[in-house]
Amino acid sequence: MNNDNYRAEYYKIKMIEPLKKTTREYRENLLKKVGYNLFYIDSEDVFIDLLTDSGTSAMS
């Protein structure tokens, strides 16, 4: 049996959910509304969370 073509998966997809895209104007108004404090933005308004280490994109 030739196993040279077998490759281990580098990752597994655990979850799929639709992402909400917004306009730049919407994001600018949202930032002004929360006083430029990113921790006050609702998770549904976050496209990708690169701010926190356990943020809205974290999975346990």
Does a structural domain hold residue 48?
yes
Domains: count for the chain: 1
Query: What's the pTM?
Result: 0.57
Does a structural domain hold residue 24?
yes
Contacts of the segment 10-16: beta carbons below 8 A, 24+ positions apart: 14/59, 15/59
User: Which residues span the domain enclosing 44?
Assistant: 13-53
Does a structural domain hold residue 23?
yes
Does a structural domain hold residue 3?
no
Does a structural domain hold residue 1?
no
Does a structural domain hold residue 39?
yes
DSSP E strand stretches across 1-60:
none
Ordered per-residue pLDDT tens for the chain, 60 residues: 566 677 777 777 777 878 888 899 999 999 999 999 988 998 888 887 777 666 555 555
